[in-house]
Amino acid sequence: MKRGISGRAASRGLNPDGDNVDIFKKCYEFEEARVIMDRGVYPFFRTIRSGQDPVVRMNGHEIIMLGSNNYLGLTSHPEIKEAGAEALRRYGSGTTGSRFLNGTLDIHEELEESLARMMNREAALTFSTGYQVNLGVLSCLVGRQDTLILDNLDHACIIDGARLSFGKSLKYQHNDMESLEERLRSLPEDRGGMIVVDGVFSMEGDLARLPDIVELKKRYGVRLMVDDAHGVGVMGAKGRGTPEHFGVEDEVDLVMGTFSKSLAAVGGFVAGSRDIIHYIKHKARSLIFSAAPPPASVGSVLKAIEIIEREPERREKLWENTRYMMQEFGRLGFDTGVAETPVIPLLVGDNWAAFEFTKKLQEKGVFVNPVVAPAVPPDRAMIRTSLMATHTREHLDRALEAIEAVGLEMGVIGA
């Protein structure tokens, strides 16, 4: 129901029904989600009543989780839970302030030293979320005379960070090096530029062409930042991400990552040279004006790094599961697009097909995520599956049985 508007509001030209210039009009008229709800296939904000394990509890049932970013399966690791609990006991539930003022604890500094060592960088800086990393880093580094060059499938936080900066943004076609070079060629020689790209594209499951990007970066004298939220812990011999995977770490100026995927907590970081991190530390508004990461998260990430370094077999198991599922999806006839990581999409058609596929799978005991337009072209909606090191072959085979059945029922694959 629309709230009536009177008094001073009426003098601003609002009619009693709140139409015309009422800022809330868009809210009253928003119907997209309700249409999906009315058709019984609404796939968002689903309630999970257990940890992010290979099998979760939903609506009183056990569901195989193929929709989590818990790639190494660490969120329920007993050592990580105890490390978080110990930090909570020692430091309390929060910092009540920003890192800039009263919120820096010794474990924040310990974590930054550990991250810098893990990432083979001079320094690292932690933020309260991964999203805030890109908001803060890009908005403080990019001035009015600078240009950002972005892949057109970059994550939303890169796009928003670019919008918050005073610089210019140019987009190139996804992983298209001719398109990237065209953008670089247009840059004035007397102005700064930086390419910002996802290392792992989190919906398509493919990798940035970092060796080619590095070559163009050097040729045109710009900087390079990699958002490796889905690469840290997953890619590379030591889990340092896509720059390590491609052997181009020395040519990547900044790497950001999150704690909410392989590192089993919440928060984010950026790693790079000492001087650049020092500048960001004193200029990034999303750091300076946000409360510091809570102690329990920091303690958990410290332990997660330790486990990642001592148990490389977790990453090996993740990739074993990835190879198996890629093979089986192909055998069943699914189109997995350009996937080459533990994120494997299944192309199913339009938005409604994706919603219906998701619902039918959940009814058969499998949790997946739909990816729909406008995030993808209207006829290229897909089901995003993602794997964990802790999935057993039994989990995967049960999931495959359900996915095959729904795929056949909906005509996504043939008999």
| Cis previous bond, 374, omega within 30 | yes
Residue 27 belongs to some domain of the structure: no
Q: Which residues of the chain have pLDDT under 50?
A: 1-5, 10-13
State pTM to two decimals.
0.93
In a domain, 389, yes or no: yes
202 as an active site residue: the answer is yes
**CB neighbours of residue 44 within 10 Å:** 11
Tokens at 111, concatenated = 């974590």
| CA gap 391, 70 in Å, rounded | 11
**290 is annotated as an active-site residue:** no
Q: Which pLDDT score, from 0 to 100, does residue 109 have?
A: 98
CATH of the domain at 175: 3.40.640.10
Please give the structure tokens belonging to residue 272: 């790079």
Structure tokens at 185: 């060629």
Q: Which residues of 181-194 are buried (b: 16+ CB within 10 A; e: fewer)?
A: bebbeebeeeebbb
121 and 251 belong to one structural domain: yes
**Catalytic residue (choose from 202, 260, 262, 300):** 202
369-401 burial, b at 16+ Cβ within 10 Å, e below that, comes to: bbbbeeebeeebbbbbbbbbbbbeeebbebbbe
How many CB atoms are closer than 10 A to CB 166?
10
Q: Which of 269, 294, 310 is the last residue of a domain?
A: 310
User: Do residues 53 and 357 touch, judged by C-beta distance below 8 A?
Assistant: no
Domain contains 10: no
Sign of CA dihedral 342, 348, 354, 360: negative
The letter for the amino acid at 212 is D
> What pLDDT digit, counting tens, does each position of 391-404 carry?
999 999 999 999 99
CATH of residue 378's domain is 3.90.1150.10
108 in active site: no
Residues 57 and 97 in one domain: no
One domain for residues 380 and 349: yes
Residues 52 and 187 in one domain: no
273 backbone dihedrals φ, ψ, rounded to 5°: -70, 155
- State how far the Cα of 206 lies from the Cα of 185, in Å rounded to an integer: 26
Is 137 inside a domain boundary? Answer: yes
Q: Tell me which of 81, 230, 360, 391 is the catalytic residue.
A: 230
Last residue of a domain, one of 279, 310, 341: 310
Domains contained in the chain, number: 2
Q: Tell me what pLDDT residue 415 has.
A: 78
- The C-alpha atoms of residue 227 and residue 154 are separated, in whole angstroms, by 9
The DSSP bridge pattern shows strands 61-65 and 123-127 to be: unpaired
Tokens found for residue 126: 């932690």
Cα radius of gyration (the chain): 23
Give which of 353, 355, 406 is closest to 44, Cα–Cα: 355
Q: How far is CA 260 from CA 149, 300, 304, 353, in A?
A: 26, 11, 11, 29
User: What is the rounded distance in angstroms from the CA atom of residue 391 to the CA atom of residue 400?
Assistant: 13
Asked, for residue 30, whether it belongs to a domain, the answer is no
Q: Are 142 and 162 in contact (CB under 8 A)?
A: yes
Same domain membership, residue 288 and residue 244? yes
Per-residue pLDDT reduced to its tens digit, 246-269: 999 999 999 999 999 999 999 999
Residues 141 and 278 in one domain: yes
Q: How many Cα atoms occupy the beta-carbon half-sphere of 226 within 13 Å?
A: 32
Residue 18 within any structural domain of the chain: no
* 3-state secondary structure string across the chain: CCCCCCCHHHHCCCCCCCCCCCCCHHHHCCCHHHHHHHCCCCCCCCCCCCCCCCEEEECCEEEEECCCCCCCCCCCCHHHHHHHHHHHHHHCCCCCCECCCCCCCHHHHHHHHHHHHHCCCCEEEEECCHHHHHHHHHHHHCCCCCEEEEECCCCHHHHHHHHHCCCEEEEECCCCHHHHHHHHHCCCCCCCEEEEEECECCCCCCECCHHHHHHHHHHHCCEEEEECCCCCCCCCCCCCCHHHHHCCHHHCCEEEEECCCCCCCCCEEEEECHHHHHHHHHHCHHHHCCECCCHHHHHHHHHHHHHHHHCCHHHHHHHHHHHHHHHHHHHHCCCCCCCCCCEEEEEEECHHHHHHHHHHHHHCCEECEEECCCCCCCCCEEEEEECCCCCCHHHHHHHHHHHHHHHHHCCCCCC
In this structure, are 231 and 171 located in the same domain? yes
Look up the domain containing 130 and give its range: 78-310
Query: Across the chain, what does the average pLDDT equal?
Result: 95
pLDDT digits (tens, 9 = 90+) for 107-119: 999 999 999 999 9
Domain identity same for 333 and 292? no
Residue type, 192: G
Residues 290 and 175 occupy one common structural domain: yes
Same domain, yes or no: 258 and 279: yes
Q: Are residues 44 and 117 in the same domain?
A: no
Q: Are residues 111 and 153 in the same domain?
A: yes
- Which of 310, 337, 370 represents a domain boundary (last residue)? 310
240 near 99, Cβ under 8 Å?
Answer: no
Q: Does residue 268 form part of some domain?
A: yes
**pLDDT at residue number 21:** 83
Kindly state whether residue 208 falls inside one of the protein's structural domains.
yes
